[in-house]
Chains A and B, each alone.
Chain A
Amino acid sequence: MTIHATECLLRMHDQHHELEDYQSGVPRWCTGCGDNAILAAVQRLCRDEDLRPEKTMFVSGIGCSSRFPHYMKTYGFHGIHGRALPVAEGIKMARPDLNVFVNTGDGDCCSIGAAHWIHAIRYNMNMTVMLHDNQIYGLTKKQASPTSPRGTKSNTTPGGSYLEAMQPLTVTLGVQNVSFVAQAVDWIPEVLYDIISKAFKHKGFSFVRIIQRCPEWLPNTFEPWMQDPLRTLLLTHENGLTLSPNLSKVYKTQERHDPMNINRAREIASLQDPIPVGILYNNPNVPCYEDIHNIGQQRSTRYIKAGLEAEFDKFTIWPQAADGKIQPGA
């Protein structure tokens, strides 16, 4: 069967996607919430990469950020608190053909789901993980989170939170098999987009911590950094981010950082002021779990039957199997 050129063009047009092909519903986040910026960047990425909506998955846990999949016109999985990562791993293992994204918050990832986070880094499955870190529990109305700076006043810490904040970047960079770590801030949308795009293109577990504002519960936390661009450290490298001339003019605190240099990445990760923004680590050579441990070949009925009969033979005591290789009770 031949296809006419016009039909080809029509199909290409059909398969080309616009922004609205990824937009679903009106986000119910607060005005000024950093989640909105992340959503805009991700929808733009989907369009620019022309991702097929039916082959694209957004997986989340519970929290403000985890509403994310509802606003994407793709497949979405809005599961339970802390468990976005293992759900996403199961999906990826079953269906390596899907583009898998995970949206998780500082409570979801760094507190209730912390065990999964550590191990997800180790598995290094090919997925893009966005940690929406606003340093506070939002949906449950202002409780301190593991990433709240010490002294954060909240409903569970009225006198100020007691502990030093957990640093998600240093934790991630401390785990064996880490392959991609980046940090973005919601108020520099251009860099946010570039980082998510690099994360998507990395094959492996791409971890992007996005520092985001919570206008409702911590409205002024990042004001000083927004007021003074010099307090943001932009990481640049030909294998990482390259900045537009305009941005370079504004954000003059810069460091040329090779994303393969894990030792320097770890040092940068522990910086809190200035806030580092960019790609801290990117190692394309770490094997993905699903590539080294997977279902294997397509299994036809005949194939399964042959495998099963061989197993039955092993255990058959009467009559003895033809090849004599039988091991009952062994």
Chain B
Amino acid sequence: MTEAAVKTRPPADKPAPAVPRGKTAKNLSGHIVEIVSDSGEGAQRCGQALGAIAARMGNGVWTVEIIPAEIRPPARSVAGGSGNRIRLGSGPVTNGGNETDLVIAFNEQVLLGRVRTGELKPGCTILLESMWRESRDNRIAASYVETHDQLVVAGYKVIEAPMERECRTIVADAKRGKNMFALGMLCSIYSFDLQLGRDQIARTFGKKDASVIESNVKLLNAGFDWAESNLEFKYRIPATRSTEPQMVIDGNTALALGVLASGMEICAMYPITPATSVSHYLSAAFEKVGGIVHQAEDEIAACTFAIGASYAGKCAVTVTSGPGYSLKQEGIGLAVMGEIPLVIINVQRGGPSTGQPTKVEQGDLMTSIFGSHGDAPKVVLAPGTIEDCFYSVITARKIAETFNMVVVVLSDASLATSQTPFTRPQFSEAWLAPPIDQSEVGEGQKPYDWNPVTGLARRFIPGQPGGMHTLTGLAHDELSHVAYDPDTNERSLRARSHKLAALQKTLTPPPVFGDPKGDLLVIGWGSTKGAIEEAVTNLREQGHKVSSLHLTFLQPMAPGIKEIMQRFKKVITIEGNWSDDPNDEIIDESNRRYSAVAMLLRSRYLIDVDCWSEVRGQPIKPNSIERVLLEKLKKK
């Protein structure tokens, strides 16, 4: 510990009771808890702190941010709830799970928002701030009482918690600090070591005045004590600590760390939700290790700036989300035509148009594969976990530079803001690219000397004597001379296409989760991996012959997928993009629109792949998937 860290470590006011007073903790294998408040009341920080404490206890954790679309939505509004949802488990947790078991709500309106979106388990426990009952505003008091009573009638276990009143005994403004009171309550409820809570406060407020830490610790202790004395229940989720070092980050930070680890030095971007935090993290990190984030004047400039930097020898990355990705399309075509390596990270959100900026959707797969104009082959891969986010960027850079191609990394809003522990990566020199080649180009060598089989050509970089040529977005021959003749045009299109085939030859079939054959194969991609595999595990425990396959490479697809599908009686994809429900009145087999991967699999492998998808802006829950798969198993 550094001296500073020691100094700011708060003193333990009193030791945490080793045995809860008069209560025995009920053992659980997992639990889902939410803290939700008005924006600015600190529920997110409380949730993050709880996640960190749980991770330190050795529990599996998956946190999901509850984010309103606006920065300051009106107080006490149904759509304005802000907070965090934390899934706790004994072992590793791979997704946000099903409905919530326990909620702490700072007012009844934000709570209603969660009830109405169907995020709460029927009959779950609610700890509700009770101050509104005594509000001087009659409408607020009435609204509180009405909601409270309705929830009680609906079967929820509503416990009124006087958080405001208790906090006011410690601080003048309870708005600042109620979140730490809530954290104390949660430490009691889940039997977490209160010292870890105090340490977390020291870390969170480390840069602030010691008095800030002190008052927050008091609030934490008070919340703990209140819960110990007033709540009848207490849980314990036994931890099975990993033997390997663990890191906790969200998907966007993982992507940014991947950029650092890949050795990329230039990131050109334009702010867009939910991708922007990648560049926030990178901006700070680059200041320490070298490199720049260029905030361009628009998405088009971000893309073409990155293309210029890549062309000049530094593989660059641009980070965006759907609408920004659309704007980059012409630039992407240029990079394809010029065979300039480029990494594009698209953190998908709900679309089309401005859509749902803070919500999850997997709607950009088709535009990633087929986007831009003409035949513009590019590589598309999608991380399935937060850990994958890190490694996928390293892989993307390698492929981009080896094949001189555009590589699109498709993450999404769910991975972007979720946090979970994973094994700390071991640095490898192989992650980095060699220095820029400035050696002389031998006589007779051509800038597009396409290999007749693989389409690959050596890339010339400015500064190399003898390599002078003009890169052009026009059709061109091996010398990069503008060429309109039919043979050259076809030859160049073939070369650019065959690079995908050459990459495909290096891929290995994806592993099947579950038995290699059976009744039903579930195929997914991207952030749904954890939820799908959890559903499959549950169904297999019930005796169903279900397995799953997760696709990381969407373009090109790995070999062996057809053979895997053929070993199952039925195949279905689970995706977070639109597909028509065949039960809808107007939908039949001749007009049904399939979800993206289902469409790709059907057309490529001529197998009758079904699909089910959900575009509710929330991560797909394992129990929704289980229900769908059971139905699919039952169908003839």
B12-20, B22-30, B246-254, B588-596: which lies at the A interface?
Answer: B246-254
Binary per-residue interface labels of chain A (61-94) against chain B in the complex, 1 for a CB within 8 Å, 0 otherwise: 0000000011011111111100101111111111
Given contacts A87-B305, A90-B310, A318-B58, contact A78 B471 (CB under 8 A): yes
Contact partner, A70, options B257, B266, B307, B470, Cβ 8 Å: B470
Central interface residue in B5, B260, B300, by most chain A CB within 10 Å? B300
A327 at the interface (CB under 8 A from B): yes
Contact between A88 and B472 (Cβ–Cβ < 8 Å)?
Answer: no
Given contacts A54-B466, A317-B56, A318-B58, contact A86 B247 (CB under 8 A): no
In the assembled complex, how far is the CB of residue B316 from the closest CB belonging to chain A, in whole angstroms?
A: 7
Interface residues of A in 46-63 (CB under 8 A from B): 52-55, 57-59
B48 at the interface (CB under 8 A from A): yes
Contact between A54 and B290 (Cβ–Cβ < 8 Å)?
Answer: no
Chain A interface residue number, banded: 35 or more
A307 at the interface (CB under 8 A from B): yes
B96 at the interface (CB under 8 A from A): no
Contact between B308 and A90 (Cβ–Cβ < 8 Å)?
Answer: yes
Contact between A318 and B246 (Cβ–Cβ < 8 Å)?
Answer: yes
B122-130, B136-144, B457-465: which lies at the A interface?
Answer: B457-465
Given contacts A54-B467, A87-B304, A94-B309, contact A80 B472 (CB under 8 A): no
B377-385, B420-428, B578-586, B599-607: which lies at the A interface?
Answer: B420-428
Interface residues of B in 266-322 (CB under 8 A from A): 266, 268, 285-286, 288-292, 294, 296-298, 300-302, 304-314, 316
A140 at the interface (CB under 8 A from B): no
Q: Which residue of A lies closest to B419 (CB)?
A: A329
Contacts of B288 in A (CB 8 A): 307, 310
Give the complex CA separation of A317 and B52 in angstroms. 8
Contact between B2 and A312 (Cβ–Cβ < 8 Å)?
Answer: no
Q: Which residue of B lies closest to A57 (CB)?
A: B462
Contact between B429 and A329 (Cβ–Cβ < 8 Å)?
Answer: no
B555 at the interface (CB under 8 A from A): no
Give the complex CA separation of A214 and B526 in angstroms. 54
Contacts of B297 in A (CB 8 A): 115-116, 118-119
Chain B interface SS verdict (over half): mixed
B245 at the interface (CB under 8 A from A): yes
Contact between B427 and A98 (Cβ–Cβ < 8 Å)?
Answer: no
Contacts of B73 in A (CB 8 A): none
Contact between B304 and A79 (Cβ–Cβ < 8 Å)?
Answer: yes
Contact between B301 and A119 (Cβ–Cβ < 8 Å)?
Answer: yes
Give the complex CA separation of A77 and B52 in angstroms. 50
Contact between A328 and B52 (Cβ–Cβ < 8 Å)?
Answer: yes
A31-39, A195-203, A275-283, A292-300: which lies at the B interface?
Answer: A292-300
Interface residues of A in 89-104 (CB under 8 A from B): 89-95, 97-98
Give the complex CA separation of A301 and B265 in angstroms. 13
Give the complex CA separation of A325 and B435 in angstroms. 33
Contacts of A74 in B (CB 8 A): 468
Give the complex CA separation of A312 and B246 in angstroms. 10
Contact between A324 and B1 (Cβ–Cβ < 8 Å)?
Answer: yes
Given contacts A80-B330, A325-B2, contact A296 B471 (CB under 8 A): no
Contacts of A323 in B (CB 8 A): 1-2, 5
Contact between B257 and A308 (Cβ–Cβ < 8 Å)?
Answer: yes
Given contacts A55-B462, A317-B246, A318-B56, contact A78 B308 (CB under 8 A): no
Given contacts A54-B468, A293-B292, contact A327 B203 (CB under 8 A): yes
A167 at the interface (CB under 8 A from B): no
B51 at the interface (CB under 8 A from A): yes
Contact between B1 and A54 (Cβ–Cβ < 8 Å)?
Answer: no
Contacts of B265 in A (CB 8 A): 295, 299
Give the complex CA separation of A94 and B463 in angstroms. 12
A319 at the interface (CB under 8 A from B): yes
Give the complex CA separation of A295 and B310 in angstroms. 14
Q: Which residue of A lies closest to B287 (CB)?
A: A296
In the assembled complex, how far is the CB of residue B517 from the closest CB belonging to chain A, in whole angstroms?
A: 39
In the assembled complex, how far is the CB of residue B497 from the closest CB belonging to chain A, in whole angstroms?
A: 21
Q: Which residue of A lies closest to B63 (CB)?
A: A329
B549 at the interface (CB under 8 A from A): no
Contact between A90 and B427 (Cβ–Cβ < 8 Å)?
Answer: no
Contact between A53 and B49 (Cβ–Cβ < 8 Å)?
Answer: no
Contact between B55 and A297 (Cβ–Cβ < 8 Å)?
Answer: no
Contacts of B298 in A (CB 8 A): 115
Give the complex CA separation of A201 and B432 in angstroms. 37
Contact between A316 and B246 (Cβ–Cβ < 8 Å)?
Answer: yes
Central interface residue in B204, B289, B300, B312, by most chain A CB within 10 Å? B312
Contact partner, B311, options A77, A312, A317, A319, Cβ 8 Å: A77
Contact partner, A295, options B241, B260, B291, B330, Cβ 8 Å: B291
In the assembled complex, how far is the CB of residue B248 from the closest CB belonging to chain A, in whole angstroms?
A: 4
Contact between A328 and B292 (Cβ–Cβ < 8 Å)?
Answer: no
Given contacts A304-B260, A315-B253, contact A328 B245 (CB under 8 A): no
A305 at the interface (CB under 8 A from B): yes
Contacts of A328 in B (CB 8 A): 51-52, 55-56, 247-249, 419
B147 at the interface (CB under 8 A from A): no
In the assembled complex, how far is the CB of residue B180 from the closest CB belonging to chain A, in whole angstroms?
A: 14
Given contacts A296-B291, A317-B421, contact A93 B309 (CB under 8 A): yes
Give the complex CA separation of A30 and B444 in angstroms. 32
Contact between B474 and A78 (Cβ–Cβ < 8 Å)?
Answer: yes
Contacts of B465 in A (CB 8 A): 52, 54
Contacts of B246 in A (CB 8 A): 316-318
On B, residues with C-beta under 8 Å from A are: 1-2, 5, 48-49, 51-52, 55-56, 58, 63, 203-204, 241-242, 245-249, 253, 257, 260-261, 263, 265-266, 268, 285-286, 288-292, 294, 296-298, 300-302, 304-314, 316, 330-331, 333-334, 419, 421, 424-425, 427, 429, 432, 462-474, 482
| 23 A-B residue pairs with CB within 8 Å | A54-B464, A69-B470, A79-B334, A86-B301, A89-B301, A91-B308, A93-B266, A94-B308, A95-B312, A115-B297, A116-B300, A299-B289, A305-B429, A307-B288, A307-B290, A308-B261, A309-B427, A312-B424, A317-B52, A327-B204, A328-B248, A328-B249, A330-B204
On A, residues with C-beta under 8 Å from B are: 24, 52-55, 57-59, 69-70, 72-80, 83, 85-95, 97-98, 115-116, 118-119, 293-299, 301, 303-305, 307-312, 315-319, 323-330
Closest 10 CB pairs of A and B: A90-B308, A76-B470, A307-B289, A324-B1, A90-B309, A296-B290, A328-B248, A87-B308, A329-B48, A119-B297
Kindly list 11 other residue pairs between chains A and B, CB separation below 8 angstroms, not including A55-B463, A296-B292, A329-B48: A79-B471, A85-B301, A86-B301, A94-B309, A94-B313, A95-B313, A295-B266, A296-B290, A305-B429, A327-B204, A329-B419
